[in-house]
Structure 1
Amino acid sequence: MTHLLGRQDCVESLRRDVIDLQAAVLDVFSRTGPVRVPSWKFPDKVSCNVDLVQLLQEYDYTEGEPEFNQHSHIVLLELVIDR
């Protein structure tokens, strides 16, 4: 499975997953209000205050940067868990 780490299609798929999960979370929040619990990825922040737009801009696939893409893959997977 390590051969998939950092591949463009994997990174893009994880980005879409994070966006879809966030949309579902916001839908629930619109009915219940925000849930104030610590973020799994950023325990010093409340999960509803994590700036996903900034994180998605920062951790995107970059052509010719295999190590960064592997790091982005892992961060995006952690954001899926965090959501």
Structure 2
Amino acid sequence: MEQKFIEQFDGLLEKYADLLVGQHTPDTIKKVEMWALYTHIAKSMPALAKHWNEMYPDAKEEMKKVIAEIKQLNEEHRTSK
């Protein structure tokens, strides 16, 4: 992949995080990225997500925390407008 495309896609993620939760720190962007990808995997390949959850119960719990944090930040961002 070309560096220009990577930078453009990173910009897309940054803007998405900002619109979704009202901030675009590197940590928040990473969490939004993980949340979006996990959500997509869980919807498009539920058996894979289930298998991963069973193989890595600690990671499943961390993912639950990320999901809850993104949901909370989104709700706070929406109500602050």
Q: Same-fold call, TM > 0.5?
A: no
Superposition TM-score tier, normalisation by shorter sequence: 0.3 to 0.5
Q: Which has the higher contact order (CA 8 A, sep 6+)?
A: 1
